[in-house]
Amino acid sequence: MTQLLMPKATAVWLIDNTALSFDQIGAFCNLHPLEVQSIADGEAGVGIQGYDPILNGQLTRAELDRCEADQTAVLVLATSHLPTPNRRTKGPRYVPVARRGDKPDAIMWLVKHHSELKDSQIIKLIGTTKETIAKIRDRSHWNIANITAKHPAMLGLCRQDDLNAAIEKAGGSTQTEEQVSNMSELP
C-alpha cells in the first residue's frame, strides 16, 4: 500500500476545507488526534501550507463526501493506476572514496580463491573494470606490491549472499579451500 505524501500538510488542508473529525483526519494522515487538534488550534504546524489530496490523486471527492456524512467512517487512500517503479538491485553500488582503494584487494581475493568466476561476475560484484581485473590476474597492476587478498564482503564492497550466488552460478563451492581444510582438521 502506498503512503500519504506530506501527512501534516494534508492534515492542514483537511482541517481547513472539510468537516471531518480529528479522529478521521488523524487515522488518514497517520497522526494522533491530539496532534491534529493542536494543528487546528494553531499550536502546531504553524506556517505549513495545506496540500490538497484530491488534486494529487490520493483521495477522491466521493470518498471525502462519504466520510463527511458518516463520522465513524475511515478515509481510504485512492488506488493508483500507475505502475510501481522497479527498484534497482543488480549491479555495483556506490562505494565511498575511502573504500575505493580496497577494490584491488577484493579482486585479488576473488581471483585467488574463486578462479571460476567470470570477469563479468567480478565486475558486477565489486564494481570495477575488466582492465583492472586483467592487470591483477597477470600481476601488472601499478600497485601490485601493496595488494593483499581480502574478502570483498568483509571490506563492504559486496554482500555475502550476492557473492555466494555468483560463486554458485559459476559452479564453484561457496566455501574457500582454507575453510574446508580448517573443517577437516577439527576433531
pLDDT, tens digit, 9 for 90 and up, residues 81-138: 777 777 766 656 677 888 889 999 999 999 999 999 999 999 989 989 999 999 999 9
Q: At 10, is the secondary structure helix, strand, or coil?
A: helix
Distance CA 95, CA 75 (A): 43
Residue scoring higher pLDDT (91 or 57): 57
Distance CA 46, CA 133 (A): 58
What pLDDT is stored for residue 137 in this prediction? Answer: 94
Q: What is the pLDDT averaged over residues 127-155?
A: 94
User: Taking 90 as the threshold, does the pLDDT of residue 147 lie above it?
Assistant: yes
| Residue found by looking up cell 570477469 in the block | 119
CA angle, 109 then 111 then 112, to 5°: 65
User: Taking 80 as the threshold, does the pLDDT of residue 187 lie above it?
Assistant: no
Q: What is the pLDDT averaged over residues 157-163?
A: 90
Residue type, 171: G
User: Taking 60 as the threshold, does the pLDDT of residue 183 lie above it?
Assistant: no
What whole-number percentage of the chain has pLDDT above 90?
32
